[in-house]
Amino acid sequence: MSIPVSIHADRALASIGGEPHVFHCHHYNCFLQKSIVEQAALVKHESLLSDAAAEVVFTELSALGPNVDVSALFQQLGFGLLDIASLTASGGLATVRASHYALGWKSKYGASDAPVCFFNSGFVEAVARHHFGGAYTVREIACVACGASECRYEVKPGGREVLQPSVGLGTLTQWPPRTPFATKTSVNEAAIIEACGGLPLAGNHEGRVDVFGVSLTRHFANYYNLISYRFDQQMAASAGEAALEATRMLLTEAGQVCAFHTFGGIMESAEWDALIKPQCKTTEDWVYGMVSVVNALGWGRWSVAALEPGQRLELVIDGSYESNGYLAAFGRSKTPRCYLGTGGASGLMNLIYQANIQNRPALTPAFYEHTFNDGRFFVAREIECRSMGAEQCRFVAERL
Amino acid sequence: MGIEAGLRAAEGLAADSKRFSAQLLAMRPAVLAHFKAKDDLYPALAAQAVTANDSGAAQLTRIFETNMKVQSAAVRRFFETLEVTAPALLASSFKTVASVIRARFETESRAVFPLVERTAKVLEGR
């Protein structure tokens, strides 16, 4: 039985048990995780990645109540097949087949020397705490990414007494009226959002959501927020401004990777051909078409604020999940915080005007390098951010 | 004339396409030499961090090296193709290029060079 997803159309958000959920693909999930894991000299990557998962999942399970089918939730969200049958109050073993993270990692980076399913470990910890009360610690002792036949998690009593509660939908504010430029297109955004809502985007019999040429998850928005912002906190604490700047570069590139694969996959999909492409009379309509799809992903409301064909995009996001979460969990920021939005803005323009996604190129690693690093590519920056006190998050992507 | 002064001079001539192009051509050798030197510098900085046995600094420097190399290539491409770029495109691209160059210099002053000093001090103390 599926767990109901609440759609907050007026906020362009989706939630389960009060926790916001957003669609993201294995390319983004694995790239983001790898960016953190590779800084092991500066951050405690294992706890950073697993603790955040335990916190957001535990908060959601608590809201869903004692009878929630946690394996069904795991499967529905696209993380794989979770088996907790042998878990008891004194611990035990949990297993995951077809783990999103393990399979995604292997497909992108090949075999790993160490387990990679940090999110799953946190999920299992939250499940144990939810079912049995008290504190538990979880360690992944076998991982498909390392060659095991399934991922296995050892659960033991003990660990943190209390988990930090997640901030839920975060800090929401009234949105200003949408810019007139946002509707200067023949693309029917409302129809696209409605159609996307009808797509079968829940996990299949293997707990996988394989669409648009990627493996999708309906992930916990606050997981991304916590791991990203704690990552830059830990980096700054260990190596100051240099680490903070490097973190921004890594997280923004994660956004570009996301755009390249997810936006690219969507714009090359049969669904795009059937529903959106026929509405696109100009190249610029492709920008509007993709922005319309994004507005069905639970990322907040994206709007085109200005568009010079082939040269410059000004993009506004109302209620970005990044700023909602940052403000609620970390307070006011001195610097822009929407890394995904920044990478998304440059990614969108590079796909349409640099990569000519209209010609359906193969979205390979080599083509990624070509698209974002060669020729006259687009670079983006966030010029206003809600986390700094602005009304909206505003991005400019310009051609170099 | 330094690069920042050159950028400001070009910005002041943006309305006059001939003088604008001439200014960009005049500052080209300095820009190309600067970015070539920087491209050579970053691997040396990473090596210095390794020698200083500072794995964190080495990792950070490699991240900077990767990102800066992409920026350098784009800036060099802009200046290397001045003669064959249409004036309107030149003017619009220059705004982005100038902003990228300034952001890079600011990042290097604020974040990169203090990191380099840190590893240099370790080596001096040996």
Nearest to A241 among B67, B77, B111 (CB): B111
Instruction: Work out the mean pLDDT of chain A and round it to a whole number.
Output: 96
Share of chain A above pLDDT 70, in %: 100
Residue B83 carries which side chain, given as an amino acid letter? E
Cβ atoms B120, B49 nearer than 8 A: no
Q: Does A234 touch chain B (CB under 8 A)?
A: no
* pLDDT value of residue A104: 98
Residue A1, pLDDT above cutoff 70: no
Average pLDDT rounded to a whole number, residues A180-203: 93
Which residues, 6 or more positions from A259, have their beta carbon under 8 angstroms from its beta carbon? Answer: A343, A344, A346, A347, A348, A350, A351
Rounded to whole angstroms, the Cα distance separating A107 from B114 reads 38
What tokens appear for A354 in the block?
A: 């640099």
* Each residue's pLDDT tens digit, A254-304: 999 999 999 999 999 999 999 999 999 999 999 999 999 999 999 999 999
Q: Does ipTM come in above 0.90?
A: no
A351: Cβ–Cβ under 8 A, 6 or more apart, which residues?
A259, A260, A263, A264, A267, A290, A357, A371
Section A204-208 average pLDDT:
97
The pLDDT assigned to A400 comes to 86
A393-399: strand order across its sheet:
A301-308, A312-318, A393-399, A378-384
| CB within 8 Å: A41 and B56 | yes
Q: Which chain B residues touch A375 with a CB distance below 8 Å? A: 77
Burial class of residue B31 (count of CB atoms within 10 Å of its CB; 0-12, 13-18, 19+): buried
Phi, psi dihedral angles at A52 (to 5 degrees): -60, -40
Instruction: Tell me if residue A112 falls in helix, strand or coil.
Output: coil
User: Which token pair is A300?
Assistant: 């907040």
Interface of A with B in 9-48 (CB under 8 A): 38-39, 41-42
Cβ-based contacts of B112 with chain A (< 8 Å) = 242, 245
A394: alpha, beta or left, given left = phi > 0 and alpha = psi -120 to 50?
A: beta
- Which pLDDT belongs to residue A200? 84
Closest chain B residue to A35, measured at CA: B63
Closest Cα in chain B, distance from residue A378 (Å): 9
Q: Give the B window 44-83 contacts with A, CB below 8 Å.
A: 55-57, 59-60, 63-64, 67, 70, 73-75, 77-78
Place of tokens 């050579």: B40
Q: Is the pLDDT of residue A225 over 70?
A: yes
Concatenated DSSP letters of B39-60: HHHHHHHHHHHHHTT-HHHHHH
Best CA proximity match to A378, nearest among A336, A337, A343, A341: A343
Write out residues in chain B with pLDDT < 70, as ranges: none
pLDDT of residue A374: 84
Q: What is the predicted pLDDT for the residue at A324?
A: 98
Question: pLDDT per residue over A171-191, tens digit each?
Answer: 999 999 999 999 999 999 999
Question: Which candidate in A235, A312, A376, A396 is best for mutational testing of the B interface (most B CBs within 10 A)?
Answer: A376
Helix and strand numbers, DSSP H then E, in chain A = 13, 13
List Cβ<8 Å contacts ≥24 apart for A104-107.
Answer: A104/A26, A104/A27, A104/A29, A104/A30, A104/A215, A105/A30, A105/A33, A105/A34, A105/A145, A106/A144, A106/A145, A107/A26
Reported residue count of chain A is 400
Rounded to whole angstroms, how far apart are CA atoms A231 and A247? 8
Burial A40-56 (b: 16+ CB within 10 A, else e): eebbebbbbbbbbbbbb
Indicate whether this model's pTM tops 0.90.
yes
How far out from the chain centre does Cα B1 lie? 16
| CB-CB under 8 Å, B60 with A239 | yes
Contact B63 A311 (CB under 8 A): no
Tell me how many residue pairs between chain A and chain B have CB atoms under 8 A apart.
72
Taken in order of first residue, the domains within chain A and their CATH numbers are 6-157 (3.30.1380.20), 180-201+250-399 (3.30.1380)
Every domain of chain B and the residues it spans: 32-124
